Structure 1
Amino acid sequence: MNHWREPEVSSDLARRADALWRALTYLSVAQLHLRSNLLAVDCLDVSDVKPRPAGHWGTVPGTAWVLTHASLAAGCGIGMQIVPVLGAGHAGVVQRALAWLTGDIARVYPRYGRDAGGLAAMAAAFPDGDTLGSEVHPALPAGAYMGGWLGGAFAFAQGMALDSPNRVVVPIIGDGECETPSTAASWLAHRALTDTRVLPVVHLNGHRMGGPSLLGAMSNEQVSAYARGLGWEPVVVEVGAGPALAEHAEFHRVLVAALEATARGAHRVVFLRCLKGWSGPIGAHKTPLTDLAGDSCQLAALRAWLSSYRPSELFDADTQPVGALASALDAIHVGSVLPDALPLPPPVAASGRGFATEVTTVLRAHAATGDIKVFSPDELRSNHLGELQGEAWTHEVLAEEVLLGWVAGWTATGRRGLIVSYEAFAPLLLTGLVGQLKQRRLIEHALPSINLLLTSYGWHNVYSHGDPSLITALLGTGDPAVHVLTPADSDRVAAALDDALRSTGRVNVIVAGKHTTVTYPRETIDEERHRGLAVWHHLSDPGEPDLTLVCAGDLAAAVVTDAVSRIRSCSDCRVRVVNVHDLAALMAPDLHHYFGTHAAVLIVTLGHRAAIWGLLGGRLDRDVEVIGWSEPPFPMPQDRLAAHAEFDVAGVTSAAEALLARRKR
């Protein structure tokens, strides 16, 4: 039984909600199908329609319904900021409709102004409008989560709501999304958070993209039992079958009551049950009218479909909102989160006391400003950071995708965050990280970076725990926002972590072994931090080298350090050693300054050889060889794994001698 307080909903509010919903849905259908005469429904002819419409219709009615009521609820005296977050990227057509009505889209794209010309231009450009596209856009209302990473919106909303007592975030989640690991784990993971006000609204329309959804096939009782079993108090509201005003009034009562309960710290969830695509072609995922130019029956169907929303009640001849729609637009507020500039601590000096001490010191210094969160999949103790467990600013849950959603939502509010995990598990984050890279390219203001600290890589782990694929794939994007930091010792780990937490607009991946105890001279640290690499003079011969040894990572630095003297004595050559602190530096055009003019180059890296070859892109016109991770055929001891990959002194020496021999021919 539902015990929530249900506020009275006036008939005027229900009429405003109905008008706004009809306007959003009408404008969405118009964008999908029309290129001109957007309000001349009865006069539409072939010249007004798109010959081959493209886009997604099925999610439109339900998404428009929730956006309508969430926007109107902001003025109901709850005393909280209400921030809707669209989970489905395909809901972009609804988002554009709302942004045109509110004028938000014209602030970003002036050609889409609040007049007939602006509306026609917006519709004509869909779905291929330059720089805007067809899916959810982060520059428009409700677009903080762009949707390319299916299933991440719930966790993203939780991250946005962390430590924000005056904000309720309302993620609009599809029932298909509920089948993804990210969403499924987010229900339970919410228990690991405190002071987080999230009201998920599940769009239960019965279908995912191509077939029936698992959640949609469940009865109301089963859906409610599922939610309660995970610690959420549900209510199911069915719309699309009864009188529209009554359904609007009922849903609004439920939503406002749920918002008020969430504001008090309760865990509520609203299930909106409806037919996919109701009020239009039922059950369609994409637009079902695909041959408007060649099929007169489809053109007639489109006229009838558009007419059903009674556009003459919504707009005057100049496309200006009138009546209940104008009143609704005066009353709505679509909340968004604008990141604030937050204080940073003074630079954190390294102390040479090892990985755990350095990392803990840096994180505590940043935590003192009150705007950092550290997330880990139950690996803090394993990563020698157990001292941080139990801190209010650390959260552990065994679901990497959820952690990425949390840190993405948290940093979207202008605050700084870090994920600490194993290198072997990090590939689970790839889709979400690429989605975040895509999203953040579209945001005018640079957000705090998404930071990962990866330890326990394959060289020091068991057979099943060796996989540097995340780094290879991220570097393969060629995105200048990607920085893979490979500090050679714990002092450099401290510098890399401090720099990453201070940075904005980047995805920083720090690869550092938790067992690191060796330290190297500090004289080049500043150059490594600012240029990404530096010559290690303590290991290098003066003058132009015959061979340049390049190390990237702590294990690589150790094996190169041990191999230098043997190479020099065996080959009677001048050797230069270069340490790479940021793999992105290998894309720089001036590598000759570091590698020498004609020297053969041997690069030793923690990750895949292919990642280095991709960064170099054939730009070094000389003999080059790369030693890196080589997948073992079966479990083997660490020393044998190193020998298998030539990642030991003997292997590095042999590769160096082969390079020098080729150079002499």
Structure 2
Amino acid sequence: MPGQRLFQSDPPADPSHLPDAVLGNSVKLDVSSFAISNAELEALQKFRSAANYIAAAMIFLKDDVLLERQLTFDDIKPRLLGHWGTCPGLTLVYAHLNRIIRRTDLDSLLVIGPGHGAPAILSCLWLEDSISPFYPSYTRDRAGLTNLIKKFSAPGGFPSHINAETPGCIHEGGELGYALAVAFGAALDNPHLVVTCVVGDGEAETGPTATAWHGYKFIDPVVSGAVLPIVHVNGFKISNRTIYGCMDDKELVALFCGYGYQPRIVKDMANIDKDLAASMEWALGEIARIQKAARSGKPIVKPRWPVIILRTPKGFSGPKELHGEYIEGSYRSHQVPLPNAKTDETELKMLQSWLASYDPQQLFCIGGDKNTPDCAPCPEVLQIVPDNRDKRLGMRKEAYAAYQPLKVPAWATFGVQKRSQASCMKTVGEFLKQVITDNPTRFRIFSPDELESNKLGAVLEVTGRDMQWDVACRAQDGRIIEILSEHTCQGMLQGYTLTGRTGLFPSYEAFLGIVHTMMVQYSKFAKMAFETKWRQDVGSINYIETSTWARQEHNGFSHQNPGFIGAVLNLKPKIARVYLPPDANCWLSTMAHCLRSRNYINLIVGSKQPTSVWLDPEEADRHCIAGASVWKFASVDEGVDPDVVLVGIGTEVTFEVIAAAALLRRQVPDLRVRVVNVTDLMILGPYGSHPHALSDDDFDTLFTVDRSIIINFHGYPLDIKGMVFGRPVVERMVIEGYREEGTTTTPFDMMLCNGTSRYHLAAAAVRAGALFNSKVSCVAHEAASFFMHRAAKDKEYIYVHGHDPDGMFDTPVFEKN
């Protein structure tokens, strides 16, 4: 029967073979075996009525918040903001979670996909008194309720979408598709938690959600908690039907069975509370069964986790019809169902009737008594609220106070020999292997199936991949989540980070841009969390950007794109960090710093191929602490009184800077060159523009006050131009970088194509230095012409022979000045 699990084993391949009682449009749930008392049922309905009343009032009212007289136009807000359509479904789920928590002492987080359902969540938080501990002006009385309703979507109040200011929240609302992956990330390494995730049927149309349904396949029931997805199918988006809303029950069941779930449909509106109560008890029973089997050493192979499909009319309990057109059960209830209530008498009367239908005088103690403050919820409304405050959904410490700092190994012990050749990624892989060993339950790597390609395979010596459907990985507690979906990696990383742990996201450089908007949405959450006093620190989000354009010459133009750097540069300066360590030892120092850091978006860019090691560990540490320094070994007279400054920012382009300096030393010995390396990109901005920005004096000391500055940058030149705007040196700068030129070619030809080669730099340097050095001016044109001739001849060689000239990437050797 529909009240039981749909399948005891794998389902038939053809969904048409499934029983009509399960798949047909007349699904009925037999709730006779579930013990929900009449008192619980009445408490659920009263809680939902109170929450729905407050949610609707928040959208419309600025006065008369408990309908103690006839509404007037003056009682209506000047701007009507908020999304009503999803609210009744969200308050329904919230009420039932409260009942389950109170009854079973369940540990649960709630992740909300429909981001603009803030009125529903805030109303429930106020009812369970989970707002006032964080915001004293939102007490559970008349003053607090008035503040909540009047200030909603108004300056100084809560916004219309769920964000970091919302107690219990770990997911930024507004951009859809990420909630489910976030929920799975929160469940990882939290074996006590059931993370309930409401997925809207509009949100379910997004690519990130479609892939995130596979997230349970990365949940080891022994070491991690569970996710209970509730798909809220109310049929409509902002002005159109949803795909799920156009699917019948048989199609939805077939879809979710194909994903590997046990689906259960809840849709009997006449008995919706009994239906959902029974379904949630069933779902939690299935979760407990799967976990018990795994934790007793007899795991179920490919367990089918539960999913609840909740069918309700959109905006149910709201206005039914307006001007001859349906509201409830249509897209017209999506946002503000009575949009002209402030100016139209008919709509104002409908609003009065709608709000009065909840009977607020029976839900709130108007006037109060000796035990209850004025306008507090009546005791009957609160019968399902958990007695244990820490168990309430708005008070879960996992959502705001769970940070566990990593034990970060002493990175210098992993350092490599100066003037050797080493892969930055392989070197860091050895370091991360120790990080995993030292932090067995609070560190994970989220990788889009590129871990070994990106030369981080050393970590697999101490851990495995976590993919419970793979016989080689099942029940191994692997610390590596590897899935070919950048969206899912990002979402799981967010959920993992915001619940107190630390993660790492390595990726091919060209494809980090896939999660650009997800990263930006997370940064907004991080910014608001940082400014919200009651939220404690969280670990930083850490990106490794490798397989860079300069060494993706074999994969071709499609794999060449350093644009993610600019995306991070556009974030709020206090949380954005971009590092381009020039060698393996600097990479170790930077990685250790980022894993210790808190509240930042860290982007670290570097090569996976063997490159020169310029600094020993001690020198690397000092260099990274400074963010930039003069590299005396490559400079003339250790950089004193230069004619020109050569600057490298990035691994491969810094090599070309050093090669250019060596070339100039041989060909134009009278040119005085200073070589500077920048590893912390944020130092370049005008003083005060970023916490790391150099003072004007320090900037001039490093780059001189009047000499030309030739910058070779790993990313797009416009990124540097934007950063230094406001400093008085812009006219003295020549900025080379990725010019959107590439193909399947050789490493050095990529430098030639983009004007970042040693020859381009040397020619620019000799022309600039000639303005200050009369000896150089006599040979500048000849030398620059020779350098560009060499560039042309090397390109010719490459196209004839198919490889770079021998010795092109040997570490340059400098004689003493």
TM-score by length of 2: 0.78
Q: Which amino acid aligns with 1:328?
A: I
Aligned mates of 1:7, 1:585 — CA distance in 2: 63
Describe how 1:105-504 pairs up with structure 2 within 5 A. 105-130=131-156, 132-195=158-221, 196=224, 197-239=226-268, 241-242=269-270, 246-265=271-290, 266-281=304-319, 282=328, 283=330, 284-317=333-366, 318-329=374-385, 331=387, 333-335=391-393, 336=396, 337=398, 338-349=401-412, 350-352=414-416, 354-368=423-437, 369-370=439-440, 371-389=442-460, 390-391=464-465, 392-443=478-529, 444-461=535-552, 462-504=556-598
CA distance in 2 between partners of 1:210 and 1:532 (Å): 51
Matches within 5 A, 1:61-140: 61-77=88-104, 80-130=106-156, 132-140=158-166
AA aligned to 1:22 is: S
Q: Is the CA contact (8 Å cut-off) linking 2:114 and 2:173 kept in structure 1?
A: yes
Structure 1 residues 264, 598: closer, same or farther in 2, change over 3 A? farther
- Asked if residue 609 in structure 1 is aligned to residue 717 in structure 2, the reply is yes
| 2:662 counterpart SS class | helix
Query: Which residue of structure 1 aligns with residue 761 of structure 2?
Result: 652
Q: Distance in 2 between matches of 1:161 and 1:658?
A: 60
Structure number with higher relative contact order (C-alpha < 8 Å, ≥ 6 residues apart): 1
Q: Answer with 423-432 or 194-203: which moved more.
A: 194-203
Partner of 2:42: 15
- Matched residues in 2 for 1:278 and 1:11: separation? 23
Q: What SS does the aligned partner of 1:286 have?
A: coil
Say if 1:51 and 1:291, in contact at 8 Å, map to a contact too: no
Provide closer, same or farther for how the CA distance between residues 346 and 384 of structure 1 changes in structure 2, counting only shifts above 3 A: closer
Secondary structure of 2:351 counterpart = helix
Structure 1 residues 597, 315: CA separation in 2 closer, same or farther (over 3 Å shift)?
Answer: same
Moved more, 87-96 or 153-162: 87-96
The separation in 2 between residues aligned to 1:17 and 1:177, in whole angstroms, is 27
User: What per-residue deviation string (whole Å, max 9, x for no partner) do you get for residues 20-58 of structure 1?
Assistant: 111111101001000011112542222211144122111
Q: 1:663 to 1:102 in 2, by over 3 A?
A: farther
Shift of 1:251: 0.7
- CA deviations on 1:373-413 (whole Å, 9 max, x unpaired) are 01111111211233434251111100001000111111112
In structure 2, do the counterparts of structure 1 residues 536 and 48 end up closer, same or farther at CA, with 3 Å as the change threshold? same
Q: CA deviation at 1:478?
A: 4.2
Distance 2:458 2:502 in 1: 20
Flag the 1:624–1:662 CA change in 2: closer, same or farther, 3 A: farther
Segment drifting more, 385-394 vs 159-168: 385-394
Q: Superposition RMSD on alpha carbons, in Å?
A: 2.1
Label 1:145 to 1:537 Cα distance change in 2 as closer, same or farther (>3 A): same
Q: Distance in 2 between matches of 1:498 and 1:486?
A: 14
Equivalent-residue separation in structure 2 for 1:657 and 1:263 (angstroms): 73
Q: What secondary structure is seen at the aligned counterpart in 2 of 1:417?
A: strand
Distance 1:658 1:7, change over 3 A: farther
- Partner of 1:433, secondary structure, is helix
Report whether the alignment pairs 1:32 with 2:32: no
Q: Cα–Cα, structure 1 residues 355 and 521, in superposed 2: closer, same or farther, change >3 Å? A: closer
Q: CA deviation at 1:550?
A: 1.4
Partner residue of 1:627?
736
Say if 1:286 and 1:659 are closer, same or farther in 2 by CA, change over 3 A. Answer: farther
Q: Counterparts of 1:531 and 1:262 in 2: how far apart (Å)? A: 51
Q: Which residue of 2 aligns with 1:551?
A: 648
Greater CA deviation, 593-602 or 30-39? 593-602
- Kindly name which structure, 1 or 2, has the bigger radius of gyration based on alpha carbons: 2
The answer to whether the Cα contact below 8 Å between 2:490 and 2:505 also exists between their aligned partners in 1 is yes
Tell me which amino acid in the other structure corresponds to 1:234: P
Query: Distance in 2 between the 1:89 and 1:628 partners?
Result: 39
Taking the aligned partners of 1:576 and 1:308, their CA distance within structure 2 comes to 78
Q: Tell me how far 1:630 sits from its aligned partner.
A: 0.9
1:589-631 superposed Cα distances (whole Å, 9 cap, x missing partner): 4222321222211111111111111111231335011110111
Kindly, what percent of the aligned residue pairs are identical?
Answer: 30
Deviates more, 1:219-228 or 1:598-607: 598-607
Structure-2 residue corresponding to 1:574: 672
Q: 1:545 to 1:34 in 2, by over 3 A?
A: same
1:161 CA drift (Å): 0.1
Q: TM-score by structure 1 length?
A: 0.95
**1:513–1:308 CA distance, 2 compared to 1 (3 A):** same
**Structure 2 vs 1, CA of residues 138 and 477 (structure 1 numbering), >3 Å: closer, same or farther?**
closer
Q: Which residue of 2 aligns with 1:584?
A: 682
Task: Mark the CA change 1:343 to 1:473 in structure 2 (over 3 Å): closer, same or farther.
Answer: closer
Q: 2:681 is aligned with what amino acid?
A: L
**SS of match in other structure, 1:381:** coil
Matched residue type, 2:119: V
Q: Aligned-pair distance for 1:356? A: 4.5
Paired residue secondary structure (1:603): strand
Q: Which amino acid aligns with 2:448?
A: P
Can you list the C-alpha shifts for 1:328-376, whole angstroms capped at 9, x where unaligned?
A: 3355843321314345133222331543442222212211222110111
Q: Verify: 1:505 aligned to 2:613, yes or no.
A: no
Q: 1:47 aligns with which of 74, 80, 88?
A: 74
Whether the 8 Å CA contact 2:557–2:742 is kept in 1: the answer is no
Residues 462-512 of structure 1, C-alpha deviation per residue, up to 9 Å, x if partnerless? 111011111112212343211111111112222222211111111111111
Amino acid paired to 1:119: L
CA deviations 1:176-232 (Å, max 9, x no partner) are 111111110011243233234100011110112321110111111111110010101
Taking a change above 3 Å as real, the CA distance of residues 76 and 330 of structure 1, as seen in their structure-2 partners, is closer
Taking the aligned partners of 1:270 and 1:29, their CA distance within structure 2 comes to: 26
Question: Residue 85 of structure 2 is aligned with which of 58, 61, 71?
Answer: 58
Worse-matched range after superposition: 216-225 or 152-161 = 216-225
2:277 and 2:306 map into 1 onto residues whose CA distance is 15
In the alignment, is the contact (CA less than 8 A) between 2:645 and 2:675 conserved in 1? yes
**1:76 aligned counterpart, secondary structure:** helix
Task: Give the distance between the partners of 1:343 and 1:52, measured in 2 at CA.
Answer: 46
Measured in 2, the distance between the counterparts of 1:342 and 1:612 equals 33
The 1:571/1:445 distance shift into structure 2, 3 A limit, reads farther
Q: What secondary structure does 1:112 align onto?
A: coil
Distance in 1 between the 2:732 and 2:144 partners?
Answer: 58
**Structure 1: which amino acid aligns with 2:89?**
G
**Contact 2:408 / 2:592 at 8 angstroms: preserved in 1?**
no
Stretch deviating more after TM superposition (202-211 or 22-31): 202-211
Asked if 1:539 corresponds to 2:623, the answer is no
Shift in CA distance, 30/630, structure 1 to aligned 2, threshold 3 Å? same
| Unmatched 5+ stretches in structure 2 | 6-30, 291-303, 320-327, 367-373, 417-421, 466-477, 530-534, 686-692, 778-817
Q: Given that residues 380 and 388 in structure 1 are in contact (C-alpha distance below 8 angstroms), is that contact kept between their aligned partners in structure 2? A: no
Question: SS at 1:442's partner residue?
Answer: helix
1:633 CA drift (Å): 6.8
- 1:543 Cα deviation from its structure 2 partner: 2.4
2:177 partner letter: G
